[in-house]
Amino acid sequence: MTMHIDIITCLPRLLESPFAHSILKRAIEKDIVSVNIVDLREYATNKHKNLDDYAFGGGAGMVMMCEPLALCIESLMEHRKYDQIIYMTPDGETLNQQIANKLSLVENIMIICGHYKGIDERIRQTYITHEISIGDYVLSGGELAAAVLCDSIIRIIPGVLSDETSALTDSHQDFLLAPPVYTRPAEWNGLKVPEVLLSGHEKNIENWRLEQSIERTKTRRPDLFKKWEEGH
């Protein structure tokens, strides 16, 4: 199965770089995922290609209009059935590893990048199935957030990483942060790699890593540690 992702944006060039390098590029080249950047301005309905207008009720900031978004969404829906239509917004559900894991299992995703003060609420009510935020802060637009979401999803699809077990040991899998990691040399500036990692004893290394993950999570993210405890 090849995952297909359509990203609707009024600034398509902002999304060129994330998919042209590294892991995401390789996933596309392997035909594990296809990513289509859709220029919303092509669906503008007036001669000036406007996508926004003043908010009813007044106040600062512009709002993305219904017509261009609806035309774009309906046009894309003619070609495929979407498992999720996602709107990137600061008031959405905060992205976490569990959301990324679930989305990595679906086939077709549409992502809408907001701008200005956001999109008309009627579009959210009519089309959106999932609203996602990447944190409690505001960006100039949804493009960078969409790229973050795509990276978090694509990298854990089987076949994307050369070592598929790598993603399974990342921070936030099973609500634990990853343990400390080391590489050569074994001693640097008087600082030594823990002896257990040099021992070659797989069970002891596995236990040490788990202990470190638990302690690091307990200290740095007690909220995650509580979730981990509840599951054990």
- Give DSSP secondary structure letters for 104-128: TT-SEEEEEE-BTT-B-HHHHHHT-
Q: What are phi and psi of 156, to 5 degrees?
A: -100, 5
- Is the previous residue joined to 185 through a cis bond, with omega within 30 degrees of 0? yes
Beta bridge partners of 7: 37, 111
Report which of 166, 170, 172, 168 is spatially closest to residue 217, judged by C-alpha positions: 172
pLDDT of residue 168: 59
pLDDT in tens, 60-91: 999 999 999 999 999 999 999 999 999 999 99
Which residue from 54, 76, 72 is spatially nearest to 63, judged by alpha carbons?
Answer: 54
Domain spanning 169-230: CATH superfamily: tRNA(m1g37)methyltransferase, domain 2 (1.10.1270.20)
**Residue 62: what pLDDT?**
95
pLDDT of the residue at 167: 63
Rounded Cα distance, 64 and 50, in Å: 9
- The ranges of the chain with pLDDT < 70 are 163-172
**Residue 46: per-residue pLDDT:** 87
Token match 């999720």: residue? 84
Mapped onto helix, strand or coil, the DSSP state of residue 63 is strand
From 211, 210, 182, select the one nearest 197 (Cα to Cα): 182
**C-alpha torsion 50→126→38→110, nearest 10:** 160
The two structure tokens encoding residue 97 = 């590893």
SS3 95: coil
pLDDT digits (tens, 9 = 90+) for 146-179: 999 999 999 999 999 976 556 656 656 789 999 9
> Within a 10 A sphere around the Cβ of 133, how many other Cβ atoms?
20
- CATH class, range 3-154: alpha beta
**How far is 118 from 128, CA to CA, in rounded Å?**
13
pLDDT the model gives residue 47: 86
Residue 232: the pLDDT is 86
Neighbouring residues of 20: CB distance < 8 A, sequence distance ≥ 6: none
Task: Please name every residue paired with 87 in a beta bridge, in sequence order, or none if there are none.
Answer: 112, 131
Sequence ranges of the domains in the chain: 3-154, 169-230
How distant, in Å, are the alpha carbons of 63, 66, 126 from that of 122? Answer: 12, 7, 6
Under a CB-based contact definition with an 8 Å cutoff, are residues 152 and 95 in contact? Answer: yes
